[in-house]
């Protein structure tokens, strides 16, 4: 029997693109590029980038331009890492 791997969520796809582009030498990822690569609607990419930024997983460099958050900023449980 062959194991079936789950498909990555839209959030994970967007995060993977931002990180992969950075690893390949692109300093920032644009919302348009992320939408093109993931084949997600632009409105979905915009919402996802906003949530990832609010959660501290990516940083907003300029309007519509994002990069991975520095390692010390990327925390589980939101920007402050608080658990209630």
Is the pLDDT reported for residue 81 higher than 90?
Answer: no
Q: What is the pLDDT of residue 26?
A: 87
Segment (H or E) for 69: none
Mean model confidence pLDDT for the chain? 85
Tell me, yes or no, whether 36 lies in a domain.
yes
20 or 77, higher pLDDT: 20
Q: What is the CATH number of the domain that holds 44?
A: 1.10.10.10
Q: What is the pLDDT of residue 83?
A: 38
Tell me, yes or no, whether 14 lies in a domain.
yes
Torsion sign, CA atoms 56, 32, 48, 63:
positive
Q: What is the pLDDT of residue 1?
A: 60
Report the domain count for the chain: 1
Phi, psi (deg, nearest 5) at residue 68: -60, 145
**Cβ atoms of residues 15 and 57 within 8 Å:** yes
Tell me, yes or no, whether 2 lies in a domain.
no
Is the pLDDT reported for residue 54 higher than 90?
Answer: yes
Tell me, yes or no, whether 39 lies in a domain.
yes
Q: What is the pLDDT of residue 73?
A: 53
Is the pLDDT reported for residue 5 higher than 80?
Answer: no
Is the pLDDT reported for residue 7 higher than 60?
Answer: yes
Tell me, yes or no, whether 80 lies in a domain.
no
Domain assignment of residue 32, given as a range: 10-68
């Amino acid at each position: 029997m062959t194991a079936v791997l789950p498909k990555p969520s839209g959030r994970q796809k967007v995060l993977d693109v931002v990180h992969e582009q950075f690893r390949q030498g692109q300093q920032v990822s644009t919302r348009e590029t992320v939408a093109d690569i993931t084949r997600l609607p632009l409105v979905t990419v915009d919402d996802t980038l906003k949530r990832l930024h609010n959660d501290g997983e990516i940083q907003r460099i300029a309007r519509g331009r994002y990069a991975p958050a520095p390692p010390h900023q990327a925390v589980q449980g939101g920007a402050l890492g608080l658990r209630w």
